[in-house]
Amino acid sequence: MSEVVGPEGGRMRELLRVGPGAVDLVAIDPRSTPGLPAAAGRGPTRKEWARAQVELIGAELGRQQEMLYASAQSAAGPGGATSAPAQADAGLDGNRPRRVLLVLQAMDCGGKDGTVKRVAGAMNPLGLHIRSFGPPTEEELRHDFLWRVRRALPPPGYVGVFNRSHYEDVLIARVEGLVDEATWQSRYAIINDFERELAEQAVTVVKVMLHISYDEQGERLMERLTDPAKFWKYNPSDLDTRARWDDYQAAYAEAFERCGTDAAPWFVVPADRKWYRDWAVAHLLRETFDGLDLGYPPADFDVERERDRLRSQRRE
């Protein structure tokens, strides 16, 4: 196998998109495999096939990421000013270098770290901007809830990855009662305005919820409690969160309904099968990059003259 095989039944961005409108997570089977082509075969071979495909897609993502980065560097020019020729470059939106932001949300053990490692890890780390969001610090609590998120956005030309995100402020903040209802209710509109603003600034946002089942989460938590090498991944609070499973599912469903916009749609990836999860997210990113119509920036110097200069510097 030497080429990428596309999904069957449509693009992954169509097959996995949810919202706006009511979303029933119960109706989405966490073990399903939307878009998986017949070429994947059956049984264990599907896992091997998908992993090999992720490697091939990773090479494409790396090339597209390089184009994104190169276009931004070209646009910056000497001293960071946007050069005039760069305005028409394929990696720009008008005068604004493009950025891509992958937002990963999931219940505990949903596979956010694994997705970052296997999908984002295929790209050049020099062009990646990965940020994780935990409980807000005292300084962050002194600001509005988007303050720390804005500070974590990827620079122009970079691919950003958020391991958890601003959606924690309408998920955990809601379920655990960290703020009153009027506060978290008002945040949906604020988030929509923020994401619309990002789109206007040439930031392409890909929001992914890794959807695992209650039973699968239980197995993964038990694995963390059984393997000493994974004790560090476990937190007793994980079981407290698990006890509120239905409340979190309802919070996710409302976030999809109210914040699933054309500017920043939500995608739900069935994630009980790790190999399918990685394959699906890789295709989502691949299709996103394809939609940007990227290209390498043209030279802003006389190429032939520079070749002649180089030849003239040969030593006998």
Q: What is the pLDDT of residues 252-285, one digit of tens each?
A: 999 999 999 999 999 999 999 999 999 999 999 9
Q: Determine the pLDDT at residue 95.
A: 61
- In 3D space, the residue among 83, 17, 28, 40 whose CA is nearest the CA of residue 297 turns out to be 83
Q: Determine the pLDDT at residue 21.
A: 84
H or E stretch at 159: strand 159-163
The 8-class DSSP code of residue 134 comes to: -
Could you state, in chain order, the average pLDDT of each consecutive group of 10 residues for the chain (316 residues)?
A: 89 93 93 95 91 94 94 71 40 74 96 93 88 92 96 96 96 95 97 97 97 97 96 94 96 96 96 97 96 92 95 86
The residue type at 86: A
The residue type at 226: T
Backbone φ, ψ for residue 166 (5° rounding): -65, -15
Helix (H, G, I), strand (E, B) or coil at 97: strand
Q: Determine the pLDDT at residue 91.
A: 57
pTM of the model: 0.91
Q: Determine the pLDDT at residue 315.
A: 82
Q: Determine the pLDDT at residue 125.
A: 86
Structure-token pair, residue 76: 């910056």
Strand partners, 201: none
Q: Determine the pLDDT at residue 86.
A: 38
Inter-CA distances, 249 with 21, 26, 189, 252, 253, Å: 15, 9, 20, 5, 6
- In 3D space, the residue among 166, 60, 199, 43 whose CA is nearest the CA of residue 119 turns out to be 60
What is the distance between the alpha carbons of residues 119 and 268, in angstroms, rounded to a whole number? 16
Q: Which residues contact 5 (CB under 8 A, 6 or more apart)?
A: 37, 39, 53
